[in-house]
């Protein structure tokens, strides 16, 4: 049976000693986000995840969701767990207090997303999708719609979805066919929505009283392509005084009994992983919906949800990597197999624990270095989400927004790739026992695999990085990473504690800079050049970004270890893990750089008929 303990010591180290999260309490609206209050929330989140959500993970995977005549039932225990989750205020952690939220930093929500994903990723899908719907409505809907929907999404009584994909189109949303026709009754922004959406996470379930769908559809006068897409809120149950349209100023308390909208679940998918998360085919048959934002501007509104979702998916990969690593370490310390290559280490045992073997240590240290480095990178980006939202200086907000926009595809793709890789390494550490369901780690492999696909495949994230983010305003976004790194290197060039790490990092950083120029220059003349380099470039960028966080963590650890007392071992492990990262992981930058330099010809000149 697997086990899980929230990694609070490492989380607090990053928050308090590496990225200065306590400074967020100085921002307007975040005055309550003091270290003491944050610690209280972290302790409560850990208890919830360890004691309520994690025990349901394996049973939820075994049972899965069931479908019967349009109704979906979640696995045993999920409904009660959701009530505990909702009543604890977790659905409104970082939401606006005006709608009943707690108004805490998005950064804290990122931390909770990670540990929920470690404990029970399938469960986390339900409130996670709701938060995306909340964001889209809060930022783009009318005040009337906000009053109707946001309080219930915030308190978790209602949940939300994002309905994008259709049977004939996935990433290419310009091909969607779902129609939105003016209804002729009610307010001017009321429409009738008709179409089918697939792969809709949490599209139907038994956890909440209502499900609020955010649906992309086309108006009758819509231009072709993505410029003709609008966004609509389409509830499972209609709300308002007349149960057909939200009346101005009406509250749910004064509304008549809800009426079922023409939204039905046609089926649920039978999947490789996240089996306790309902993935639905949703049919909209002249369903009543309301326009969110402006006509034909649905993609910009939907990106509010998509960017939030991409950050959350990256944290899912991180969460699965953490729990897989924890269990691999426990197993490696307990499993007896052969003797150490350098002589017996445990003479009182019939064999040595496998943790003495170099290849097992290679796996474990790779897992540890990726998990802790990716966590630091993700929380740095999470911190800047709060700076973008709350800082009083406009230029500072804009710079933070540019940094977040640049890093979102890196977070989504590299953390999910790493999550899958780490879960696979956990199975390898277990050997044959890892392939057996009862040990639990094979589930992490299956669950992690989808994170590399949904919310934009990782190949699409790479194209976003090189095709949009790199080119925007002559590299404006890129400078938000390159300049802080260059400034750090200039400030720390004589720091003896970093002397062993700096040469490796500076070499890799130089290759990233040159690869950026190469991809940009070649892509101007031939877009296939940028496309061919995109995935390798993103991984190169990610290794350097994670390496930068290891430099920052090593600086803190080296400075604090001499006077750390009982915590000296923690800081010493940080330095040793940094040493492993720069010696054994960072060199992958060299191979990626060579692949980028090879250009598009080796793949694009290959004839189709030869495949």
Q: How far apart are CA 14 and CA 183, in angstroms?
A: 52
Q: What's the pLDDT score for residue 184? A: 58
Residue owning tokens 């500072």: 396
Q: State both tokens at 419.
A: 């999550």
Say whether 347 sits in a helix, a strand or coil. Answer: coil
Q: What's the pLDDT score for residue 446? A: 98
Say if residues 268 and 67 touch (Cβ distance below 8 Å). Answer: yes
Whether residue 151 is predicted with pLDDT greater than 50 in this model: the reply is yes
What is the pairing mode between strands 230-235 and 210-217? antiparallel
Backbone φ, ψ for residue 429 (5° rounding): -65, -40
Rounded percentage of the chain residues whose pLDDT exceeds 70: 96
Q: What's the pLDDT score for residue 189? A: 74
Q: What's the pLDDT score for residue 169? A: 87
pLDDT tens-digit readout, 334-372: 999 999 999 999 999 999 999 999 999 999 999 999 999
Say whether 334 sits in a helix, a strand or coil. Answer: helix
Rounded percentage of the chain residues whose pLDDT exceeds 90: 91
What is the pairing mode between strands 210-217 and 158-163? parallel
Over residues 568-597, mean pLDDT: 98
Q: How far apart are CA 580 and CA 554, in angstroms?
A: 12
Q: What's the pLDDT score for residue 351? A: 97
Residue 188's pLDDT band, with cuts at 50, 70 and 90, is: low
Give me the CATH code for the 140-148+157-302 domain, please: 2.40.110.20
Backbone φ, ψ for residue 599 (5° rounding): 80, -170
Backbone φ, ψ for residue 234 (5° rounding): -130, 100
pLDDT tens-digit readout, 396-406: 999 999 999 99
pLDDT tens-digit readout, 239-256: 864 444 444 444 444 445
Closest to 160 measured CA to CA, from 197, 230, 207, 225? 207
Catalytic residues: 455
pLDDT tens-digit readout, 60-100: 999 999 999 999 999 999 999 999 999 999 999 999 999 99
The whole-chain average pLDDT of the chain stands at 94
Sequence-distant (≥ 6) Cβ neighbours of residue 521 within 8 angstroms: none
Domain assignments of the chain as residue spans, ordered by start: 8-64+75-136, 140-148+157-302, 479-611
Q: What is the dihedral of CA 16, 22, 24, 26, to 10 degrees?
A: -160
Q: What's the pLDDT score for residue 170? A: 75
Q: How far apart are CA 106 and CA 54, in angstroms?
A: 23
Q: What's the pLDDT score for residue 300? A: 82
| Residue 169: exposure state from Cβ atoms within 10 A (0-12, 13-18, ≥19) | middle
Give bridge partners of residue 292 from the DSSP assignment: 231
Say if residues 422 and 370 touch (Cβ distance below 8 Å). Answer: yes
Residue 187's pLDDT band, with cuts at 50, 70 and 90, is: low
Say if residues 211 and 159 touch (Cβ distance below 8 Å). Answer: yes
Q: Give the predicted TM-score (pTM) of the model.
A: 0.96
Q: State both tokens at 147.
A: 């009053």
Q: How far apart are CA 3 and CA 24, in angstroms?
A: 33
pLDDT tens-digit readout, 284-316: 999 999 999 999 999 888 777 677 889 999 999
Q: How far apart are CA 416 and CA 450, in angstroms?
A: 9
Q: Which one is predicted more confidently, 185 or 413? A: 413
Say whether 138 sits in a helix, a strand or coil. Answer: helix
Q: What's the pLDDT score for residue 252? A: 43
Closest to 263 measured CA to CA, from 71, 128, 67? 71
Q: Does domain 8-64+75-136 have CATH number 1.10.287.610?
A: no
């Amino acid at each position: 049976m697997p086990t899980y303990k929230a990694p609070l010591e490492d989380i607090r180290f990053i928050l308090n000693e590496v990225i200065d999260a306590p400074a967020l309490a100085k921002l307007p609206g975040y005055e309550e986000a003091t270290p003491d209050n944050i610690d209280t929330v972290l302790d409560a989140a850990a208890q919830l995840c360890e004691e309520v959500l994690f025990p349901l993970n394996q049973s939820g995977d075994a049972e899965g969701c069931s479908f019967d005549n349009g109704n979906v039932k979640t696995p045993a225990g999920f409904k009660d767990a959701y009530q505990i989750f909702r009543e604890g205020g977790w659905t409104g952690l970082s939401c606006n207090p005006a709608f009943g939220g707690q108004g805490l930093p998005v950064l804290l929500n990122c931390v909770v997303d990670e540990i929920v994903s470690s404990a029970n990723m399938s469960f986390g899908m339900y409130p996670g999708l709701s938060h995306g719907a909340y964001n889209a409505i809060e930022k783009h809907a009318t005040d009337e719609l906000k009053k109707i929907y946001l309080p219930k999404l915030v308190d978790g009584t209602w949940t939300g979805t994002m309905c994008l994909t259709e049977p004939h189109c996935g990433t290419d949303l310009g091909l969607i066919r779902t129609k939105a026709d003016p209804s002729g009754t009610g307010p001017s922004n009321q429409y009738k929505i008709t179409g089918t959406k697939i792969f809709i996470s949490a599209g139907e379930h038994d956890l909440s009283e209502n499900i609020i769908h955010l649906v992309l559809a086309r108006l009758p006068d819509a231009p072709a392509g993505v410029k003709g897409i609008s966004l609509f809120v389409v509830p499972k149950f209609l709300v308002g005084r007349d149960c057909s349209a939200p009346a101005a100023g009406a509250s749910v308390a004064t509304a008549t009994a809800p009426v079922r909208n023409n939204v039905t679940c046609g089926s649920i998918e039978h999947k490789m992983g996240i089996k306790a998360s309902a993935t639905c085919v949703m049919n909209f048959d002249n369903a009543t919906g309301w326009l969110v934002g402006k006509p034909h501007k649905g993609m910009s509104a939907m990106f509010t949800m998509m960017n939030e979702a991409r950050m959350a998916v990256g944290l899912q990969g991180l969460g699965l990597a953490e729990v897989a690593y924890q269990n691999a370490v426990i197993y490696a310390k307990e499993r007896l197999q052969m003797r150490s290559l350098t002589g017996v280490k445990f003479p009182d045992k019939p064999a040595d624990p496998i943790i003495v073997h170099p290849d097992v240590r290679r796996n474990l240290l790779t897992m540890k270095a990726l998990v802790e480095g990716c966590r630091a990178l993700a929380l740095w980006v999470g911190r800047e989400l709060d700076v973008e939202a709350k800082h009083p200086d406009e230029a500072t907000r804009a710079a933070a927004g540019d940094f977040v926009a640049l890093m979102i595809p890196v977070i989504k793709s590299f953390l999910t790739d790493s999550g899958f890789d780490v879960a696979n390494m956990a199975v390898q550490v277990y050997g044959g026992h890892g392939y057996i369901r009862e040990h639990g780690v094979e589930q992490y492999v299956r669950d992690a695999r989808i994170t590399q696909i949904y919310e934009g495949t990782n190949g699409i994230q790479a194209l976003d990085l090189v095709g949009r983010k790199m080119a925007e305003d002559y590299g404006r976004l890129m400078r938000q990473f390159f300049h802080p790194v260059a400034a750090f290197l200039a400030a720390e060039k004589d720091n003896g504690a970093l002397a062993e790490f700096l040469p490796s990092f500076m070499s890799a950083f130089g290759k990233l800079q040159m690869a950026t120029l190469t991809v940009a220059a070649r892509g101007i003349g031939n877009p296939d050049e940028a496309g061919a380099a995109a995935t390798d470039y993103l991984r190169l960028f990610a290794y350097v970004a994670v390496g930068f966080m290891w430099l920052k963590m090593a600086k803190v650890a080296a400075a604090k270890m001499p006077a750390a007392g009982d915590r000296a071992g923690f800081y010493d492990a940080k330095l040793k893990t940094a040493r492993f990262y720069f010696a054994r992981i960072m060199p992958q930058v060299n191979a990626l750089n060579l692949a980028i330099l090879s250009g598009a010809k080796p793949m694009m000149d290959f004839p189709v008929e030869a495949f």
